[in-house]
Amino acid sequence: MAEDKVTEDMSSVQITASAEDEDVVDPWNVTSKSDTGIDYDKLIKRFGSSKIDAAVIERFEKVTGHKAHPFLRRGIFFSHRDLNTILTAHEQGKPFYLYTGRGPSSAAMHLGHLIPFIFTKWLQEVFDVPLVIQLTDDEKTLWKDIKLEEAIRLSYENVKDIIAVGFDPEKTFIFSDLEFIGQCPAFYQNMVRVQKCVTFNQVKGIFGFGDSDVIGKISFPAIQASPAFSTSFPFIFGKAKLPCLIPCAIDQDPYFRMTRDVAPRIGMPKPALMHSTFFPALQGAQTKMSASDDNTAIYLTDTPKQIKNKINKHAFSGGCATVEEHREKGGNCDVDISYQYLTFFLDDDDKLMQIKIDYTSGAILTGELKKELITILTALVGAHQERRAKVTTEVIKQFMEIRKLKYNYS
């Protein structure tokens, strides 16, 4: 039948790893058998995205006039789709917007959840563009044993952490799916447009849904796709059909592969993407940090004592078994979690390089590396908690109210 025809783009969306592939990466599971974690070069080939290489970073700096963020320079945001299209639009003075999101499965966010928001805030400042942030509380009620009321409550707790990153309310709209969609007919209409373009067979092939999955799961991808279309937010963009750039972890890519296939069929620009690596669990790079296991994660609510204890007790070491052996052979930064975390949160490139040299040579021990990380994370989490404490109900309303932002579009 004609409606079952799969386009070339959507047919390659499959997220299931082949039998010989050791890495499992999909929107719900991230695991690797390798001590060094996910092979991102293989993942780029498997997903069909493009590497953010030196040439892309050079063009980014030239077009924006800004030095690349450490997340770009260090390969933390490592893959993209159509980033050059966005850079060309910026070069030509054409508007676009940013879209990212959060699935609120716990009241306390952890460090890994901060990565896309830190980077998105920087992108918003560099490009001076609107941002929409989707809270997929509906998704969490479908995938987890969470009631609707609890999912909404978790959204509002997570909003406090998101706002505490430092977003500008004049440029940023944050919304809960469970509250917003019923208030915005244009958003729901785009959901239906997407749903009409994707068959049941296709969504099963893309996301691996089975016959026993609740029907809400099958329709959810259309909800995550809809913020990628500016016409979903007429109060911000009017009738303008703007492209968007989506910073996200690469496990979310299947949603947007589907979205990019649908976009031209409903007369909208394809969204561009920038993919991040995963923030590893304390126990090692084989899995990402999880909100469901206290001992894998540093939470944004953790005290200095908790941060210290978690790193000292649980952070996987790349050092040798004895001090003597470590001094002789050195440590392995590729598997050492304390070093991996420093690549995310130590801004000084020169200091990070010196730490790598010293740890690899055996000049510094694992305990010294952990001490450096504890100092940095204690300051980072403490500052975040101070900002979060200032996020009042009135501030939340300011970000989540349906309203026009500071930009004008025809």
Least confident of 34-48, 90-104, 177-191: 34-48
DSSP string, 235-265: HHHTT----EEEEEEGGGHHHHHHHHHHGGG
What dihedral angle (degrees, nearest 10) is formed by the CA atoms of 14, 278, 247, 307?
150
Strands 77-81 and 97-102: unpaired
3: pLDDT strictly greater than 80:
no
Cβ–Cβ < 8 Å for 163, 391: yes
Let me know: does 137 contact 101? Beta carbons within 8 Å: no
Q: What band does 9 get if pLDDT is binned at 50, 70 and 90?
A: low
Q: With 60 as the cut, is the pLDDT of residue 7 above it?
A: no
pTM for the structure as a whole: 0.92
pLDDT category, 286, cuts 50, 70, 90?
low
Ramachandran bin of 350, using left for φ above 0, alpha for ψ from -120 to 50, beta for the remaining angles = alpha
Domain 2-281 has CATH 3.40.50.620: yes
Please name the residues in contact with 12: beta carbons below 8 A apart, sequence gap of 6 or more: 48, 257
Q: Is pLDDT above 80 for 21?
A: no
Fold match flag (2-281 vs 294-389):
no
CA 228 to chain centre: 15
Domain 294-389 falls under CATH 1.10.240.10:
yes
Q: Tell me 272's DSSP state.
A: E
Question: From residue 44, how far is each of 48, 51, 202, 274, 377 by CA, in Å?
Answer: 6, 7, 22, 12, 30
pLDDT, one tens digit per residue, over 232-270 is: 999 999 999 999 999 999 999 999 999 999 999 999 999
Q: What is the pLDDT of residues 378-396, one digit of tens each?
A: 999 999 999 999 999 999 9
Residue 245 φ then ψ, to 5°: -115, 130
pLDDT at 288: 64
Sign of CA dihedral 66, 71, 77, 78: positive
Q: Packing angle between helix 337-345 and helix 349-361, nearest 10 degrees?
A: 170
The domain segmentation of the chain, as residue ranges, is 2-281, 294-389
Q: State the pLDDT at residue 31.
A: 74
Query: pLDDT: is 250 or 120 the higher one?
Result: 120
Residue 140 pLDDT greater than 50, yes or no? yes
Beta bridge partners of 110: 299
Q: In the predicted model, is pLDDT for residue 361 greater than 50?
A: yes
Rounded to whole angstroms, the Cα distance separating 243 from 230 reads 7
Q: Return the pLDDT at 24.
A: 78
Yes or no: say if 142 and 217 are a contact pair by the CB < 8 Å rule.
Answer: yes
For the chain, give the percent of residues with pLDDT over 70: 91
Comparison of pLDDT for 39 and 260, the residue scoring more: 260
Q: Using 50, 70 and 90 to split pLDDT, how confident is the model at 362?
A: very high
Helix and strand element counts for the chain (H, E): 20, 11
Q: Where does residue 209 rank: exposed (0-12), middle (13-18), buried (19+ CB within 10 A)?
A: middle
Q: What is the mean pLDDT of residues 272-280?
A: 94
Q: Is the model's pLDDT at 11 over the cut of 60?
A: no
Q: What is the pLDDT of residues 143-191, one digit of tens each?
A: 998 999 999 999 999 999 999 999 999 999 999 999 999 999 999 999 9
Helix spans in 24-97 (H) = 40-47, 54-64, 70-73, 83-91
What is the secondary structure of 153-199 as a DSSP string?
HHHHHHHHHHHHT---TTTEEEEEHHHHGGG-HHHHHHHHHHHHHS-
Q: Please tell me the predicted confidence (pLDDT) of residue 5.
A: 36
Q: If you average pLDDT over each of 1-5, 13-17, 205-209, 234-238, which comes out highest?
A: 234-238
